Amino acid sequence: MKGMKRMFVIAVAVMVIMCLPVAAAFAAESPSKTPVTFTGTVNDDFQVVAADGTVYEVDANDLGNELVEEVGKKVEVTGVVEIVDDLKSVTVLSYKILE
């Protein structure tokens, strides 16, 4: 019986060690859900071009749909950014038009 406990503990330890790289890989690939704020200009391609030149595709939600109506205006956007196939998209949480 004592030998069975030891084998069980060893098996569990080996499984944990084998799963660590997989968990780390998923953590590295999962996008941050922390909101970010940036300024930029809305274009007519449903995008915001940030002051640093980064282009953000605007996701279709209520606020995003409102934002893309402000073509040509400088805005401050707060949202959650995700990167898919080298494209950055933003789910708009809030925005304001800058003068």
Per residue, the 3-state secondary structure of 28-39, as one string, reads: HHCCCCCCEEEE
Residue spans of the domains in the chain: they are 1-30, 36-97
> pLDDT tens across 40-63, in order?
999 999 999 999 999 999 999 999
Give the pLDDT of residue 28.
47
Residue 29 has pLDDT above 90, yes or no: no
Q: CA dihedral defined by 42, 58, 69, 38, rounded to 10 degrees? A: -40
Taking the C-alpha atoms of residue 37 and residue 55, their distance in angstroms, rounded to an integer, is: 14
Contacts of 45 (CB under 8 A, 6+ apart): none
Judge if pTM exceeds 0.95.
Answer: no
Average pLDDT over residues 7-14: 68
Taking the C-alpha atoms of residue 90 and residue 86, their distance in angstroms, rounded to an integer, is: 13
Domain 36-97 bears CATH identifier 2.60.40: no
